[in-house]
């Protein structure tokens, strides 16, 4: 949770005032024990974030980047006139010459 400077100053002033007035208030030990127990329960429930919302948030953050990457690769492949291995397939089907696999890929 983020606060603006003004909100932070208000909170600090409220905490200062509460700290100064704490000696005036009489709080029983029983109430204080219950309060601390409740704080510990809140800490336990808030300290372990649920897995699926975090995963969903991470996945949705990656969606625009993935889409942009797909578009860039598509533009690159179209500009290079990409032909997915038709020449290699044609050489294998004709069978006129024997090629070793490393020779076909120029290794």
- pLDDT per position as a tens digit, 7-66: 888 888 888 888 887 777 777 788 888 888 887 887 666 556 677 888 888 888 999 999
User: Tokens in use for 3?
Assistant: 């606060």
The model's pTM: 0.34
CA distance 46 to 39: 11
What CA dihedral angle connects 94, 95, 100 and 105, to 10 degrees? 0
Tokens at residue 2, please?
């983020």
């Amino acid at each position: 949770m983020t606060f603006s400077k003004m909100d932070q100053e208000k909170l600090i002033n409220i905490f200062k005032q509460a700290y100064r007035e704490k000696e005036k208030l009489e709080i029983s030990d029983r109430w204080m024990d219950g309060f601390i127990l409740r704080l510990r329960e809140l800490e336990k429930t808030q300290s372990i974030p649920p897995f699926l919302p975090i995963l969903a948030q991470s996945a949705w953050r990656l969606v625009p980047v993935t889409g942009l990457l797909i578009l860039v690769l598509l533009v690159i492949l179209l500009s290079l006139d990409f032909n997915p291995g038709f020449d290699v397939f044609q050489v294998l089907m004709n069978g006129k010459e024997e090629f070793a696999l490393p020779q076909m890929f120029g290794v």
